[in-house]
Amino acid sequence: MASLIHCPHCGPRPREEFTVRGAAMQRPMPDDSWDDWFAYVYLRENPRGPHREHWQHTGGCRRWLEVTRNTATHETLSVRDAALGTEARP
């Protein structure tokens, strides 16, 4: 059975319908320092455990979602609409 992600708009869907963008990071403001922008563009953590990521439901509603998952077990802990904050429970 495929792993499921519980989209707040479409319900439980196979993970293959989604495209991952990467870590859910706060974008620096235009007037922030060069170091802040460098870290945002080039530096990434590789955490073990719960981690927030941006995913797009490309095979469904095409909405951007914020998925919190455990990187060690691949368990999906929570999913919410990145723009609206609507949450779905796995």
Residue 47 corresponds to which tokens in the numbers above? Answer: 């955490």
Q: Is the dihedral of CA 31, 37, 39, 41 positive or negative?
A: positive
Instruction: With H, G, I as helix, E, B as strand and everything else as coil, classify residue 69.
Output: strand
Residue 42 corresponds to which tokens in the numbers above? Answer: 């080039």
pLDDT tens per residue, the chain (90 residues)? Answer: 458 899 999 999 999 999 988 787 778 999 999 999 998 888 877 789 999 999 999 999 999 999 999 989 989 999 999 888 666 555
Q: How is residue 1 annotated by DSSP?
A: -
Residue 2: its pLDDT value, please?
59
Over the Cα atoms of the chain, what is R_g? 14
Classify domain 4-28+37-88 at the CATH superfamily level: Folate-binding superfamily (3.30.2270.10)
Burial profile 56-75: b = 16 or more Cβ within 10 angstroms, e = fewer: bbeebbebebbbbbeeeeee
Residue 86: its pLDDT value, please?
60
